[in-house]
Chains A and B, each alone.
Chain A
Amino acid sequence: MTDTTSHSDPTHSADPRDLRSLRVKGSAPSRSFALAGVLLPLLLAVVWEAAIRSGLAGGRLMPPPSTIGATLWELAKNGELQLHCLATLGRVLAGFALGALFGTMIGAAAGALVVVRRLIDPTLQALRAVPSIAWVPLFILWMGIFETSKVALIAVGVFFPVYLGVAGAIEGIDRKLIEVGQVFRLNRWAMIRRVMLPAVLPAWIISLRSGLGLGFMFVVAAEFMGASEGLGFLLVDGQQMGKPAQILAAIITFAVLGKLADGVLVMISKPLLLWQDTARGAL
């Protein structure tokens, strides 16, 4: 596939494991080591702060951490931050739910039935190559400028990794385990429930995680379409009003929210995957 996807859109990394390896950084094996990841940003923050305080740098376009912190605090105090967070989270959640649902269903159909795969996979692969932003004008025309088009755009972003993950996982189920089910004469439904579903569960959860990550990416695009609330709005507003501290505050909030949402997903899925025998103890 040609790599025409725009703005670091990771839909083009076909293997969901690429995304997994990007995303597990936080879950370091030992507790003492877990803080190591914080060292680099902390050091950078301190250096930057010192550079501005000592007058080595201006800090007008790249405000020091203290100013960003103050901006965050200000936004939180008057309730704006919560409002924007909730708006963004609501959109991501709605889009994620829709995208994950359809991605799972259509992915399952394409993975299990060759006919379905032959019919729809080429089309979906072509659509997948379309950069997310390209959908924006069309969705606004179709669904207006309000929530529907935003949720739809996010759902599209979530759909593809989930679809690919589920379809690939079902295709890749070990024939040897299916044969075990056959020897015990499982009927079709029992085979799905007792062998196929558990077999695809890990890949499904990984695909959901990459879908969620993309949801956070697409929500920004969606909120650029024109929104009066949401973290994306804070970004646009900060640019138009010339408030770099606000932009950085929104970016940091995005990072925290994204990480938290992923953490919740991992926490929910963990008891389901206790049996897994992988190098990464924690997925």
Chain B
Amino acid sequence: MLRLNGLSKTYADGTEALREIGLQVGKGEILALVGGSGCGKTTLLRLIAGLDSATSGAITVNGETIKGPHPSIGIVFQEPRLLPWLTVAGNVGFGLADLSPQERQARVLHALEKVGLAGYDQRWPRELSGGQQQRVAIARAFVTAPKVLLLDEPFSALDAFTRASLHDHLLLLWAETKPTVVMVTHDVEEAITLADRVVVMRPRPGRMMETISVTLDRPRDRLALGFDKAKRRILHALDRSLQPEKTTPTQKGADNASHWW
């Protein structure tokens, strides 16, 4: 289980990217993070992945504190980030250097099949379309069977059709090992299609604003009644997250006014 405790991050230049994030994600749960641009979603994932360190607070996975990249945490970046000098198979098997070549090969081919790229193993990344590259990146993250998988807007650069089919591929891979998934998305429907819980964040500084549970049965149908209801709730929360905070300014205004008098 993934637990975030009072997590804050202030960058060296003074930008307060995250303030006091407290969150628990259960085993096998899929959590979606939504929120306006710059509210610290990528920062949060990078902290969990161990690529940056928090200013304060702690991250634990099954009770173990995360201080740097950890074998049980995998990440899919917003861009595919494939190594151009490795074939597709070489990229997918990049994290499996310890395995015997046969076992690595078997795992790689299995993962490629799951993302619908069987037969592409000997291609170079440059010979793939954007969506195919992103699928390779997903396969690369899944193939090491991480307990926690982080996805940073993995599908945002793709068209709606490709995206829908990648959702299916993702859920298929997820069903195999049931990792805990934390995914960032800008697409509310994507969040509802995939997630058990949706966390809406608020910018400047990045904070959690509202958590919405999605209890629909899988596979989820966009036309189901509950789908629309969840969507409206999230959209509403997002709307409010992007509005200036009302209480503080008015109070400040009152303070200022009293000064004048």
Contact = CB atoms under 8 A, between A and B. Distances in A.
Interface of A: 176-177, 179-180, 182-185, 190, 194-195, 198-199, 201, 274-277
A28 B149 CA distance: 47
A89 to B, nearest CB: 32
Contacts of B87: 275
B85 A275 contact: yes
Interface of B: 49-51, 68-71, 74-75, 77, 79, 81, 83-87, 94-95, 97, 124-126, 144
B85 A179 contact: no
20 contacts: A176-B81, A177-B81, A179-B77, A180-B77, A180-B94, A182-B69, A183-B75, A184-B69, A184-B144, A185-B68, A194-B97, A195-B83, A275-B84, A275-B85, A275-B125, A275-B126, A276-B84, A276-B126, A277-B124, A277-B125
Contacts of B68: 185
Contacts of B81: 176-177, 179-180
A176 B95 contact: no
A74 B54 CA distance: 77
B77 A176 contact: yes
B123 to A, nearest CB: 10
Given A185-B71, A201-B85, A277 B126 contact: yes
Most buried by A among B68, B74, B79, B94: B94
A185 B69 contact: yes
B49 A177 contact: no
A176 B85 contact: no
Most buried by B among A177, A185, A275, A276: A275
Contact of A198 (B51, B77, B83, B125): B83
Given A194-B94, A275-B87, 7 more contacts: A177-B81, A182-B50, A183-B69, A183-B95, A184-B94, A198-B86, A277-B125
Contacts of B125: 275, 277
A190 B81 CA distance: 18
B49 A183 contact: yes
A198 B144 CA distance: 23
Nearest to A176: B81
Nearest to A276: B84
B interface secondary structure, majority: loop
A interface secondary structure, majority: helix
Contact of A177 (B51, B83, B126): B83
A194 B85 CA distance: 10
Contacts of A185: 68-71
B85 A198 contact: yes
B51 A179 contact: yes
A177 B91 CA distance: 12
Contacts of A274: 124
Contacts of A190: 97
Given A176-B81, A198-B85, A275 B124 contact: yes
Nearest to A197: B85
B51 A183 contact: yes
A268 B50 CA distance: 40
Contacts of A184: 69, 94-95, 144
Contacts of A179: 51, 77, 81
A182 B51 contact: yes
Contacts of B126: 275-277
Most buried by B among A183, A185, A195, A199: A183
B93 to A, nearest CB: 11
A265 B63 CA distance: 55
Contacts of A180: 77, 81, 83, 94
